[in-house]
Structure 1
C-alpha cells in the first residue's frame, strides 16, 4: 500500500536517504534501445548537469549516484542546518533560479509595504525554505526537467517516469555505507562494466578520477569521505576515501567473479568496524530487488527504533538486516 512521503522521509530519524526513479516500460533514460537501435547515452549528461545545478541550489548533498539505462540511484543527505541558516534573500535567490518569484515579494521589500503583504511574503519564503531542503522537491525538480527534455526529443507526450520515486531511510552509518556501495556497483551487477573505474556516470568513478587528478566528466559535487573528527570535516561521511574505494573494489571483484560461499578472505576492515557480516554484506549487494524495495535500512536495533518512532507494527527488512549485520 502506498504510504505518505512524510512517513517515508522523516529528518528526525535520519538525514540520509537512498532514492530510485525508474522510467515507464520501454522508455529509456539513457543507454541503447535494443528494439529501435536508438542511442540515448547523451542523456546521462542531462542527469549529471541537472544534479550539478540542483545540488548547488538545495540544502541536499549527494553521497552517491549511478545512472543506468532506465533508472537511476541517488544517496542523498539533507543538510537542515544549512537551510535554516540561509538569509531570506538567499532563499529568494535560490528559489528564483528554479521558479518565477511572485510580485508580492518585491512589494514586501518596499518602504510602504503593509503588514499583511510582509506577512504573506514571509510565509512564502518559509515555504520555499522548507522546500529547498525537501527530497521530494529535489526529485521533482530533477524528474520533471528530465521528462520534459526526453519527451521533446522523442516527440511524444505522457508519463515518462514509473509513478513516484522510491525512497529508503538509511538509519545508521553502516546503512549509508551499504547503500552507497550498492549504488556504485550497479553497472558491475548489471554486467555493463567490469571495474568501478570503468563504470561511467557513477560516483565511484568520479571519486577515483578526482583521486588520480584526472579530468572529470562532469562537476557534480560529492560529499566528502573522511574519518577525521575535525570541525572542517563535520559534514563528511565518517569513513576514509581509501577505506571506501577498497571496499567497492573488493565487492566488485566478488560480484563480477560470481564467487560463492565463504568470501571473508581479504575483506576490508571497515566491515568489521561497522559490525557488518561479510557474507551477508556480499549477499545483499548481489540482490537487485530486495534492498531497493525496503522503506528503511539499518541494524535490527535501528529498525526497531524506527518502527516505534513511526508508530508502525513492522517494517519490511528485518530479516535482511539480520543477514547484513552480525546478529
Structure 2
C-alpha cells in the first residue's frame, strides 16, 4: 500500500531525499528511438535546466542527478534554514515565479493598503506558499508538469507522460547519502552507456568535474531561449566537508574524497575490468567503516536494496514508528552491511 507523501518526506528527520521518476510511454524521455530514428537527447537539457531553475526558487538544493533514457534520478536537500529566513516579500516573489500568484499579494507588493479581510487572506496565502517553497512534492510537481507539457507539445499528443507520482527514499545518515549519490552518479557507467565519469552525460559528477576544469565558466542553460528572464540556474550543492547531516551548509564530505571513491567504485562495478581494485581503499570507506564488498553491492543495487527509507536499521525502524506507517522496513541486511558499527 502506498504511503502519503507527508509521511515519506519529513525535513525534521532528514533533509536529504533520493527521487526517481519514470516515463510511461514507449516514446523515450530522452535518448534515441531505434524504431523511428528520432532523437530525444535535447530533453535531457530540459530536465537539468528546469531542476536548477526551480532550485533557485525553492529552498531545495540539488546534490546529485542523472538523466537516463526513460527515467531520471535526483538527490535533493531541503534547506530548512533558508526557508526560515525568507521574508514575506521573498515568499511572494519566489512563488509568483512558478504560479500567477494572487491579486492580494500583488497589491501588497505594490505597497497598496489592504483591508482587514485582505490582510487575513494574505496571511493564509503567505503561510501556504512559505510551506510549499520547501516542499519536495511541489518542487516535483512544477518540474514534471512543465516537462510533460513540452514533451506532449513536441510529440503532438495528449495524456500522461509520467508513469505515476515520483518515488522517494529518505536518506537518514552519511552512509545512506554517500551510497545514494554514488548510485545516481554511476548510472551511465552501470548501464554500460558510458565508459568514464567525464563521458557520463547529464550527470552531476560530469558537471562537477567540468567545473574543476573550467572554474571561471558561468553556468548557462542548454537552451537559453527556453528559460524566462526570471529563471536563473542555481549551482549544485557544494561539498563542505562537515561531519554530520545536521549541518545545513552542503554535502557533508570533501569533494576530493568523493571523487577518489567514485573513481574507485566506477572501476569496480565494470564487469569488463579485471584487476581493477587497488590495494589501498578509498579514505571515505575507512572513515565510515564500510567494507569493500558491501560498498560495491550498494553502488550496484542501492535502489532495490531499500524501499522508502535508507540508513542505520534502528533509525529506519524509528522513522517508521514515528510516522505511523508500520514497523517493517525493506533492507535490514543491506543496512547492517553498510553500517557495521553499533
Pair in the same fold by TM > 0.5:
yes
CA distance in 1, matches of 2:113, 2:320: 52
Query: 1:225–1:24: structure 2 CA closer, same or farther, 3 Å change rule?
Result: same
Calculate the aligned-residue CA RMSD, in Å. 2.2
Secondary structure in 1 aligned to 2:29?
A: coil
CA distance in 1, matches of 2:314, 2:131: 30
Residue in 2 aligned with 1:303? 316
Contact conserved, 2:317 with 2:327, CA < 8 A, in 1?
A: no
Structure 1 residue 183 corresponds to structure 2 residue 193? no
Which sections of structure 2, spanning at least 5 residues, go unmatched? 222-232
Structure 1 residue 275 corresponds to structure 2 residue 275? no
Quote the offset at 1:274 in angstroms.
1.5
Structure 1 residue 202 corresponds to structure 2 residue 203? yes
TM-score, normalised relative to structure 2: 0.88
CA distance in 1, matches of 2:133, 2:51: 14
Residue in 1 aligned with 2:129? 128
Query: 1:195–1:295: structure 2 CA closer, same or farther, 3 Å change rule?
Result: same
Which deviates more from structure 2 when the two are superposed, residues 252-261 or residues 5-14? 252-261
Residue in 2 aligned with 1:39? 39
Residue in 2 aligned with 1:27? 27
Quote the offset at 1:310 in angstroms.
2.3
- Counting only pairs closer than 5 Å after superposition, residues 47-86 of structure 1 correspond to structure 2 as 47-86=47-86
Query: 1:260–1:20: structure 2 CA closer, same or farther, 3 Å change rule?
Result: farther
Secondary structure in 2 aligned to 1:32?
A: coil
Aligned length: 323
Quote the offset at 1:212 in angstroms.
1.7
Quote the offset at 1:217 in angstroms.
7.0
Secondary structure in 2 aligned to 1:178?
A: helix
Residue in 1 aligned with 2:165? 164
Moved over 4 A (4+): 107-112, 214-220, 258-264
Residue in 1 aligned with 2:145? 144
Contact conserved, 1:262 with 1:279, CA < 8 A, in 2?
A: no
Secondary structure in 1 aligned to 2:72?
A: strand
Query: 1:276–1:288: structure 2 CA closer, same or farther, 3 Å change rule?
Result: closer
Query: 1:156–1:275: structure 2 CA closer, same or farther, 3 Å change rule?
Result: same
